[in-house]
Amino acid sequence: MEADLTVEGIYEFRNAFLHVLIDEPAKLMCSEWLRKPTSKEYREATYIFINYLRQNQLHFWIQDTTNLGGVTAEDLKWVAEVLVPVANTSGLLKVARITELDKNLHSFKNLTNPDLFKQTQVEVQQFSTYREAVTWIEEQTW
């Protein structure tokens, strides 16, 4: 359910497994997994992300994947095929992933077609804290 947080251009979405905050003036999306999603929920979240990327001209995305848990190879491959092309054409510049230990990103890159990433300008980095992720996002290279 999306809610206006009374600040113009700031919107929030929350369900049982995902929390998303959109800051339109900062061109930022923050997402946090509240618990490990099922395969169906993981794919549902992908469409939520795609909708925000298409509608909001976002440049930055901070993903807190601490509670995501392991994702199946099938789901990772599906997300790569569905989400990456949208991210590549959306204007997204930086994705900061917050996690303690993430095998998902490594698996994601190994499972996907390398050509998928050749024409992208999206930088992806992993961090252990929100503060590190924000600091990196703030290092704009315009």
Range in 18-22, 32-36, 45-49, 108-112 the model is least confident about? 108-112
2-138: what CATH class? alpha beta
Whole-number pLDDT of residue 52: 96
Confidence class of residue 2 from pLDDT cuts 50, 70 and 90?
low
Contacts of 67 (CB under 8 A, 6+ apart): 32, 33, 34, 35, 36
Residue 37's Cα: distance from chain center in Å?
15
Contacts of 70 (CB under 8 A, 6+ apart): 103, 104
Residue 37 has pLDDT above 50, yes or no: yes
Residue 126 has pLDDT above 90, yes or no: no
Whole-number pLDDT of residue 111: 44
pLDDT (tens digit, 9 = 90+) per residue, 51-84?
Answer: 999 999 999 999 999 998 888 889 988 988 899 8
Whole-number pLDDT of residue 20: 97
| Domain positions in the chain | 2-138
Query: What pTM does this model have?
Result: 0.83
Residue 88 has pLDDT above 80, yes or no: yes
Whole-number pLDDT of residue 115: 52
Residue 128 has pLDDT above 70, yes or no: yes
Residue of higher predicted confidence among 119 and 9? 9
Determine phi and psi for 19, rounding to 5 degrees: -125, 130
Whole-number pLDDT of residue 71: 87
HEC secondary structure over 35-58:
CCCCHHHHHHHHHHHHHHHHHHCC
